[in-house]
A and B are shown apart, each in its own frame.
Chain A
């Protein structure tokens, strides 16, 4: 029961942060501010769901399962790279646009 509550909380937190990130993406005024949105979804949002899933599968099998951590591992490795490249690309695009006219 407590496990269920923990899992539920984690899921809700995760979903909330994913939503907030996407709201940011939709709402924030320029590209660089929008870029901050997805990081939330990545880190806290998916992170919470991952932990929820981890607990859930552990509880279901009665053992310890850490597989879901692999997801977070890969996300932690890749998300900053994506953000970095997106930022660079945006800078480049902006430079191109301002150089053109």
Chain B
């Protein structure tokens, strides 16, 4: 009854266990405001409560049950909050929470008193939460989420002492390697999920055969292994790990023992049922583990910094664990799990002990630290025991798993025949190194004479600082002496999760009798001590030949070189040249167009329409166009001449509009043309021709080629279009313009009614252009181009001035005429506005800006606003009649004595358009005109001064 109740509680507890550290992190931040110890107690309580939450789940999990929970989150993307507690998860959870609790305790004493610890504990808890998430995730994407949370939080933890260069670099290095590995893992897990059809581990783990047989298996394997190896510090991704000891010692102790690096091997264990059992696994995992095992051990002894030594020993032991998984026998997997436990215990205690020594001595250099046994015998004893375990001394836990390793190397299935001895020999040699660096740690720190020049006198640390170490060393002994009782059941449960097809019978015992593995152990011991004894020779060799690369510097250099390379690349591909951008655009569009056409073979360029007969006017117009366009190009360096030729083009285009029955367009084009010319001439005063910048002839050739290709493309498309008939909706406009829009000029009805919304946008563009110009020119000071500066004495020829005055009212009358009739005949607000603006503009031209501006005291901005509002309000009026925006209405009025005439809301709209056009153009022109006046005033005032 009670059990059932608990198992119902299981999912809740599981979710709770995962939430606790994250919520706890926030609590700690709050507690730290109160006091340092409050922070410590809160943090400890958080970890402990995680353990407490685990207790009810223990029996079932130990008996092999798998507890899963699932809160759907993004099911269609395969991401749910799905958790799982099995033997493997339990093993790691215990390590994470148990050692985490000890670390918190230890840190409370270790961390300097000025540190309020809020940030520290919060990060540490969040990191622990991330680790828990990794080991408890049922959903692989969720696992990855937590995986990267550990990368992120470890980044922040390593950089905890961020004032130090080493810490900052080490943090970024760790992020680069482990975060990068995480990305590979992400790809691997996504693929894996795709193959399995689910991201749930339960499903994935059941599909090992399918996965191993899948063509993507090698890819998945490599990607997942990249994740695992980077995280667990396997060669050649190991380098971040030694640098990570820039973190405060409690962090290092945690990262190196129970977490972070263990996440990597956890992953190997987690996916062992799915990914192992192939030759590729054997080769990749086995060889990586072997190389890392040996390399870490070899380098460790060379480190004078004892934290460095320990770091490399971590690499080596993680290599060993990886190698064990790689050996791919059931027993080796068990050994791997066992060694995970053992390594966590002894490495945590070693780091804590090392932290105490560092704390007491103020240095970590073993060449200066000597004879610590004398100063702190109790701590030294603890350290020696832990180091013994690391070396694999019998009766200590490390010995047991190492012995299992040696056993598995003997007669391994991959090494048959004459190669049988290879693996045991390798294991023994690696063992020799392990013994040697352990020996160095013990002898060089605790014995080896007197300390050299220490900043302070070491003594035993506070009682409670040592306490966590005592607990752990106690475990080293307990597991070492009574392995089956201490860890037998949990190992069994964990192995059950890793080896679903059956856990081999194993008995953890201290004594297995005289056998080859024991002989290997003894040999390793003897040779290892000898090796340590002859170390000076080795150090000499190392000093002489080993490359001296400090990895933080190297990392920063690589990063910088990458940055430089990127800058260089960017400079090559992006010259920040508009000319290049434009040329690229032309090339791109041409290629895309050609591809689009060519990819549908068999379509002719010429369509079925018979061609329209050519007439003389067309040929004359073409001649004009040719002269105009080519002239503009040829004389583009002579500014004024180019403008003249451009005007010819404008004239011809207007003429073409007339010729092909578009009077409205012709009117608009003609008026716009005039304003454009005036605008260009206004600017030409300040813009030199192409005097300074000349293109090389090669460039001209290239541009000419591009232009011809582009022009030919457009011509071809136009030709293809013109020679084909098409079916259009515009019949509707022709049919409904008068009956529905109340106007006979269909173009105008389209502009103010059918597509009045376009026109509303268009006047906004015009208004903005003028305003933008105003904003740009505002306060701008320009020197006129030298040649244009000489001005004629007779600035405003009297003939011009006098004749333009009568023209103004007459042109305004024409403008009104065009405005009023636009709905029915060519014209409308645009053209009328342009005419009115030009009429006023003429006054500028004829009599100068002073004269004109004095007489045109309009507030253009207000007129612009009014025009926009009138046009919009006309559109809004239809809301009163419950019609959509811009629904027009019209009617015929017949006052007495006067013939009936039409009133249309569209006409009001057109008045808005009219106002905007007039105000925009006049604003633009008067602003450009102000430029010269500004310059003139400046000149005259400077003349007065001198």
Contact = CB atoms under 8 A, between A and B. Distances in A.
A and B touch in the complex (CB under 8 A): yes
Interface of A: 70, 73-74, 77-78, 80-81, 84-85, 88, 92, 96
Nearest to B804: A81
Contact of A77 (B790, B792, B807): B807
Interface of B: 790, 792, 794, 797, 799-800, 803-804, 806-807, 810, 814
Contacts of B794: 88
Contact of B806 (A70, A77, A85, A88): A77
Nearest to A95: B792
19 contacts: A74-B807, A77-B806, A77-B810, A78-B807, A80-B799, A80-B803, A81-B799, A81-B800, A81-B803, A84-B797, A84-B799, A84-B800, A85-B797, A85-B800, A88-B792, A88-B794, A88-B797, A92-B792, A96-B790
A51 B441 CA distance: 117
A6 B806 CA distance: 33
Contacts of B797: 84-85, 88
A49 B826 CA distance: 22
A42 to B, nearest CB: 14
Nearest to A89: B792
Given A88-B792, A88-B794, A92-B792, A77 B800 contact: no
A88 B797 CA distance: 9
A27 B790 CA distance: 32
A81 B80 CA distance: 83
Contacts of B790: 96
B845 to A, nearest CB: 10
Nearest to A92: B792
Contacts of B800: 81, 84-85
Contacts of B799: 80-81, 84-85
A70 B810 CA distance: 10
A66 B807 CA distance: 19
Contacts of A80: 799, 803
Contacts of A70: 814
A73 B814 CA distance: 12
A78 B792 CA distance: 22
Contact of B803 (A77, A88, A92, A96): A77
Nearest to B846: A81
Nearest to B814: A70
A81 B806 CA distance: 13
Contacts of B810: 73-74, 77
B889 to A, nearest CB: 31
Given A70-B814, A80-B799, A85-B799, 17 more contacts: A73-B810, A74-B807, A74-B810, A77-B803, A77-B806, A77-B807, A78-B807, A81-B800, A81-B803, A81-B804, A84-B797, A84-B799, A84-B800, A88-B792, A88-B797, A92-B792, A96-B790
A84 to B, nearest CB: 5
A74 B797 CA distance: 19
Contacts of A81: 799-800, 803-804
Contacts of A84: 797, 799-800
A92 B788 CA distance: 12
A47 to B, nearest CB: 18
A80 B802 CA distance: 12
In the A-B complex, the 5 residue pairs with the smallest Cβ-Cβ separation, listed nearest first, are: A84-B799, A81-B803, A81-B800, A77-B803, A92-B792
Contacts of A96: 790
A92 B791 CA distance: 10
Contacts of A88: 792, 794, 797
A74 to B, nearest CB: 8
Contacts of B814: 70
A30 B897 CA distance: 61
A73 B799 CA distance: 17
A88 B804 CA distance: 17
A54 B844 CA distance: 34
A74 B804 CA distance: 11
A43 to B, nearest CB: 16
Nearest to A82: B800
A33 B807 CA distance: 28
Contacts of A77: 803, 806-807, 810
A21 B794 CA distance: 30
B810 to A, nearest CB: 8
Nearest to B787: A96
B839 to A, nearest CB: 12
B802 to A, nearest CB: 9
A71 B763 CA distance: 30
Nearest to B803: A81
A80 B794 CA distance: 18
A29 to B, nearest CB: 22
Contacts of B807: 74, 77-78
A32 B750 CA distance: 49
A56 to B, nearest CB: 17
B663 to A, nearest CB: 14
A81 B800 CA distance: 6
A78 B811 CA distance: 12
A81 B790 CA distance: 22
A78 B800 CA distance: 9
A73 B813 CA distance: 14
A73 B807 CA distance: 10
A22 B676 CA distance: 27
A77 B810 CA distance: 11
A91 to B, nearest CB: 9
A89 to B, nearest CB: 9
A85 B801 CA distance: 11
A45 B388 CA distance: 118
Contacts of A73: 810
